Chains A and B, each alone.
Chain A
């Protein structure tokens, strides 16, 4: 049986123009591993939106996911909250388990 380790999975759904700022803040907070995913569309407090037919980056959204050790969660959220608090988007945290804990 492979050994599993507890970790936190933090997912930011954020406006595309904020992507580089968020990944910069993650790196400043010591998070060097993250994944950026395109988002096709959705609906929320600011109305419906879709990636289809966007002429610029302004209207799009991306999802930035990082998996970190539980003790790093609080400092990471403190570091990134200022950046995302005024913007459209969602920040969610979930428990998860990972193999190879030394990578996180």
Chain B
């Protein structure tokens, strides 16, 4: 237990989390601080490219790992299955109608790539390097949850999912960049990394700090503007569901035999909630669902929870499972 508190304190005192907290505090205090839209977009491109590239280099360096296929399969099953757990929990804790509950549930099967990036950073800071293929697992977990959500709404997915929407989901910018950079890293290996290391390794944490500052501003504004909507049941769901999701991720990681870093990242992917891919799909396929509910939950409650308390908690569990 003391180990967890040490980890939690170290995490809370890191520049990454303090930057995020600064963003939340500034937004709650109605500061005019803001990161220009184009800058935030450029930083997200940089972070996705860097994390994808480094994952590819790691796979190239260590060779093909048989755990890759198992972890990809586990990720897809988790993404498709967790919305059902979330839906059941929403029914117990909140009075949301079927459509809104299913839409929220879909977000909790999919992933937050920023939480994944922060998780990678925390793992590395504690000396645990995750399997490089976890980047591919992250990409594979984006979409299955959307189908589960549509199934939960009670209508056939084909009614609401057209070819254009499929293309938008499967080829959304984050997935293309992540998988593309992964492939470039895989093809060019350590020699490729050596060529661009000064750009994608050294500045990484600094850029992540500014990006998390922006995410803090976004989360803080979301909390401020939607605080009336955050009822106790919804708040409890936003905190409990990531913990439950992480337990499923931990169980899958233990079955596969992932490293501490890999276990942490699979827990993070299972615990995090989407706020980019799934909301866009829901706006098209389920416009009746209230975006204020699912965006506030995933971005205003679950994202800050995962970043501040979740990451050290998951790392503690990952270390316990691996006996490290």
A residues near B (Cβ < 8 Å) are 15, 17-18, 20-21, 46-48, 50-59, 86-88
Contacts and interface: CB of A to CB of B under 8 A. Distances in A.
A76 B218 CA distance: 38
A18 B284 contact: yes
Contacts of A86: 287-288
Interface string B186-224: 000000000000000000000000000011011001000
A55 B226 CA distance: 16
Interface stretch (B52-60, B136-144, B289-297, B313-321): B289-297
Contacts of B214: 53
A20 B277 CA distance: 16
B280 interface: yes
B227 interface: no
A58 B291 contact: yes
B97 interface: no
A56 B37 contact: no
A20 B181 CA distance: 27
B287 A20 contact: no
A58 B283 contact: yes
Main DSSP-derived SS at the A contact region: loop
Binding site secondary structure of chain B: helix
B217 A53 contact: yes
Given A46-B291, A88-B287, A21 B276 contact: no
Contacts of B282: 58
Contacts of B291: 46, 58-59
The 8 A-B residue pairs whose C-beta atoms are closest, nearest first, are A58-B279, A56-B276, A58-B280, A53-B218, A86-B287, A87-B287, A17-B283, A17-B280
Given A18-B283, A18-B284, A46-B292, A55 B276 contact: yes
Given A53-B218, A58-B291, A59-B295, A48 B225 contact: yes
B215 A55 contact: yes
A15 B283 contact: yes
